[in-house]
Amino acid sequence: MNKIYNPERKDWKTVLERPTQTVAAIEQTVETIFGDVREQGDSCLKNYTERFDGATLDTLTVTMGEIEEARTKLSGALKQAIQLAKKNIETFHKAQRTGTIEVETMNGVQCWQEKRPIQKVGLYIPGGTAPLFSTILMLAIPAKIAGCQEVVLCSPPDREGRIHPAILYTADLCGVTQIFKVGGIQAVAGMTFGTESIPQVYKIFGPGNQYVTVAKQLATKYGVAIDMPAGPSELLVVADDSADAAFVASDLLSQAEHGVDSQVILVSTSKELMDAVEKEVAQQIEALPRKEIAQKAIDNSKLIFVEDDRTAIDLINEYGPEHYIVCVKNEDFYVTNTINAGSVFIGNYTPESAGDYASGTNHTLPTNGYAKQYSGVNLDSFMKSMTFQKISREGIQNIGNAIELMADAEGLQAHKNAVSLRLESLKKQ
């Protein structure tokens, strides 16, 4: 693991650099596939699925028979675990509902705001080296609570043309309306343009590799919104001598096993803890089935020593981690002063895995420093706020002259006339 001691502030940007490719290196591939899908529809999706996933498909659509079969393949214990997670996620996201905000800004001028669901949403669920059925819980549950009419899901099939049974079971449990066997860039393109099988959606959600991330960004050029530019997973742990080195190491590895381009960072004011964590990582990684993947991510990891809490928090806010674990004596200082983070996990007994699966918070979070300006997925991600206003005769008389003066100052005579005509009409009555 890469140990760095007291890096100078001028070097922080370099020290905290993510191991990701540039958009330019990927964009041409994404543009080509988008163009193909837009012109050729389903046939193109099937061709790319055969090319990238090794699956030959007659149809892209998952049938009810496949969903029924998936139910029988999952153990009762796993189903109960998924249902427990569903309950907690529903509880937390239902609590995010807000009512109408209504105010009379001046006599006769009534303004209010209400929220409406996005009608059609698309969910992208990775299914390659890890079938992320937990992400369905994080996306489909708030979509249904919000009242989205169509919830479309795309996930890559295996070589036999099947989607992992846990993905199908969870999607059905959470009320997904249609499921399609297509992954990667082509799935995002299918939901962006619509094909013979896949409906066009208004907003696309879900994590993915760097290619999927760039595909989602490109989708915005065609009028489709996205949750955020979420790419490879990342975790930053801040810990001191009060932390358990074995716990910290397990958290670092839990993110490292996501993918070779995942990044994990430990920031500490204790050199002894850093050494202990390094030893624990070396021991624990040997027992992991995904050791090879985790090892490549760990090779890019960083253990950063700083002298004091103030320097540590400044460094953390500069990085803006997706997942952020706080295991320090002075946890209030860190929690209060954290400005940039996707989701925060506090204390020795709060593993990041809890948020990934079952505590109730959402695990679809901004990566690559986007926590500085993006929120993680929440109930409002599936809704739009609409404003309304109603002005009475008294109200237009109270506000009208100000509108006339402002419109005239901007040189917009028609805007002024729209008010002046009403005011003149009222004078005649």
| The 3-state secondary structure of 267-333, one letter per residue | EECCHHHHHHHHHHHHHHHHHCCCHHHHHHHHHCCEEEECCCHHHHHHHHHHHCCCEEEEECCCHHH
Confirm whether residue 263 is marked as ligand binding.
no
pLDDT at 28 over 90: yes
143 and 199, same structural domain?
yes
Within a domain: 382:
no
pLDDT at 311 over 80: yes
288 and 218, same structural domain?
no
Within a domain: 366:
no
Within a domain: 272:
yes
Percent of residues, the chain, with pLDDT higher than 90: 92
Within a domain: 248:
yes
Q: Which of 164, 234, 280, 323 is catalytic?
A: 323
Confirm whether residue 233 is marked as ligand binding.
yes
212 and 134, same structural domain?
yes
Q: Express each pLDDT in 258-308 by its tens digit.
A: 888 899 999 999 999 999 999 999 999 999 999 999 999 999 899 999 999
249 and 220, same structural domain?
no
> When comparing pLDDT for 20 and 89, which is higher?
89
Tell which of 204, 230, 256 closes a domain. 230
Q: Express each pLDDT in 356-389 by its tens digit.
A: 999 999 999 999 999 999 999 999 999 999 999 9
Tell which of 342, 360, 378 closes a domain. 360
Residue pair 229/79 in contact by the 8 Å Cβ criterion: no
225 and 121, same structural domain?
yes
> When comparing pLDDT for 21 and 265, which is higher?
265
Within a domain: 383:
no
Instruction: Identify the DSSP state of 419.
Output: H
Q: Which of 322, 352, 404, 424 is catalytic?
A: 322
Confirm whether residue 93 is marked as ligand binding.
no
241 and 101, same structural domain?
no
Confirm whether residue 164 is marked as ligand binding.
no
Residue pair 181/161 in contact by the 8 Å Cβ criterion: yes
The DSSP-derived string for 38-87 is HHHTHHHHHHHHHHHH----S-SBPPHHHHHHHHHHS-HHHHHHHHHHHH
Confirm whether residue 258 is marked as ligand binding.
yes
Within a domain: 424:
yes
Confirm whether residue 28 is marked as ligand binding.
no
Q: Looking at residues 150-163, what average pLDDT do you find?
A: 96
Catalytic residue check, 323: yes
Instruction: Identify the DSSP state of 355.
Output: H
Residue pair 321/341 in contact by the 8 Å Cβ criterion: yes
338 and 200, same structural domain?
no
Q: Express each pLDDT in 197-245 by its tens digit.
A: 999 999 999 988 889 989 999 999 999 999 998 778 899 999 999 999 9
Q: What are phi and psi of 54, to 5 degrees?
A: 70, 20
Tell which of 230, 249, 281 closes a domain. 230
Q: What are phi and psi of 361, to 5 degrees?
A: -75, 165
Domain that holds residue 73: 23-230
Residue pair 248/266 in contact by the 8 Å Cβ criterion: yes
Within a domain: 377:
no
Confirm whether residue 124 is marked as ligand binding.
yes
309 and 288, same structural domain?
yes
188 and 46, same structural domain?
yes
Residue pair 190/32 in contact by the 8 Å Cβ criterion: no
Q: Looking at residues 151-176, what average pLDDT do you find?
A: 97
297 and 202, same structural domain?
no
Taking the model in full, what pTM does it have? Answer: 0.94
Within a domain: 384:
no
Mean pLDDT of the chain: 96
pLDDT at 158 over 70: yes
Q: How many domains does the chain have?
A: 3
Task: Supply the CATH number for residue 313's domain.
Answer: 3.40.50.1980
299 and 321, same structural domain?
yes
Distance CA(82)–CA(90), nearest Å, equals 12
Radius of gyration of the chain (CA): 25
293 and 214, same structural domain?
no
